[in-house]
Amino acid sequence: MPPELALLKTVPAHPAKRARLRAVPVVPLRVADIALFYGERSGGIRTYLDAKAEHAVRTGEIEHHVLIPGAKERHEHGRHELPSLRVVAANGYRVPLGAGALKETLRALRPDVVLLHDPFWWPVDVMACAREIGARTVAVHHGTSNLEAAALPGPSRVYAPLLRRWLRRSGRHVDAVMSNVDTMADFGRLATMPLRLGVHETFRPRPDVRRGEHVLYVGRLSREKGVLELLEAAARSEDRWPLRFVGSGPLEETLRTRARRLGLSARVSFRPHARDRVRLAHRYAGARCVLMPGEHETFGLVALEAAACGTPVAACSTAPALHAIGALGHGFVPGDSDDLDRAIAAARASVPDIQEAAMIGWRYGWQRVLRAETASLRDLVG
């Protein structure tokens, strides 16, 4: 168990004297994040959890533990990998072998608060275990039922009601819901705290990087992300801009095949998922604009990272991140191909506001947003 860290707290002094500081020992909040979708090439969830682990080490404000599926059971430095099987061709995601090891780990850790980042890892059993050890529980709403349904093969209108019922059942007894979007349809209750996402200091304006003419997509190559619609937009455009996909996913071969059929092979390129922040920041800065076409985004971390680098972003108007990036964002109406084309043209023609980009990086720096999250969790624990 890491040692307790001393923080400075302002203490009121005699009215005739100035307030002074004194050292007050504060016990770090013990936080357990349970994440099924923490894959080798996953995006926002892994970025968020890795940033929280770094924040815990740097500040000592929380004792952080992340519980994820792994090849074998292993516990070290706050990272707890529990037995699971790899899912073939699914971004490195794994399926856990039951909830026994998960509950044993929670009983050993005895966290103050447990955050469930998906509703699929035996949530009812996990919540019962959390109550048993006196921990508060938070359902973190990373993906709506409509988003999950859109990712599945077949008609999403069939899957969405089933997923919605599962979400309501799994989140019925949590102490709080954390989200950036309206959760009433999925949980039957409103979110009680925001899901705070941020950007690493690497994502900043880079005037030394030359902007190209290409449009850039970064993320999972899957149906719910709107990548097929993006390819169609490239085919419609009279301005023959290059399109680069950075990422991996189940639609990669479909996109390659369709690009050939549309006569786009010379304009469309594919690059693998990028984990290196510096390389990714240079890719953002070197693009004419970044596209985030999915209409079911529950935030859109790519938009925030790209805007912090000074790159204009075209995104569906339903993405919460669009409202965080100000003039660097260009929204379009979901399902409206003409409006998508207009937003792409506007983003490509815009001149980046470097001062606004720098402010985004400062306002949404991980240390600021995670300190705010810790304060909300402390209020929940009481």
Q: Where are the domains of the chain?
A: 5-198+365-381, 215-363
Neighbours of 195 (CB within 10 A): 22
Mean pLDDT, rounded, for 79-90:
80
Q: What's the pLDDT band for 373 if we cut at 50, 70, 90?
A: very high
In this prediction the pTM is 0.86
DSSP state of 273: -
Mean pLDDT, rounded, for 313-336:
95
Neighbours of 97 (CB within 10 A): 14
pLDDT of residue 37: 83
Above 70 in pLDDT, residue 14?
A: no
Task: Please provide the CATH number assigned to the domain covering 5-198+365-381.
Answer: 3.40.50.2000
Token reading at 378:
């402390």
Tell me the fold of 215-363: Rossmann fold (3.40.50)
Mean pLDDT, rounded, for 294-320:
94
Same fold, 5-198+365-381 and 215-363: yes
Token reading at 360:
């985004």
Above 50 in pLDDT, residue 327?
A: yes
Compute the distance between CA of residue 350 and CA of residue 175 in angstroms, rounded to an integer.
Answer: 44
> Which of 343, 298, 272 lies closest to 151 in space, CA to CA?
298
Beta strands in 247-361 (DSSP E): 268-271, 289-292, 313-316, 329-332
pLDDT of residue 10: 32
pLDDT of residue 88: 53
Token reading at 307:
């805007």
Q: What's the pLDDT band for 144 if we cut at 50, 70, 90?
A: confident
Above 50 in pLDDT, residue 138?
A: yes
pLDDT of residue 5: 27
Mean pLDDT, rounded, for 231-243:
96
Token reading at 34:
């349970």
Q: What is the mean pLDDT of the chain?
A: 88
pLDDT of residue 21: 36
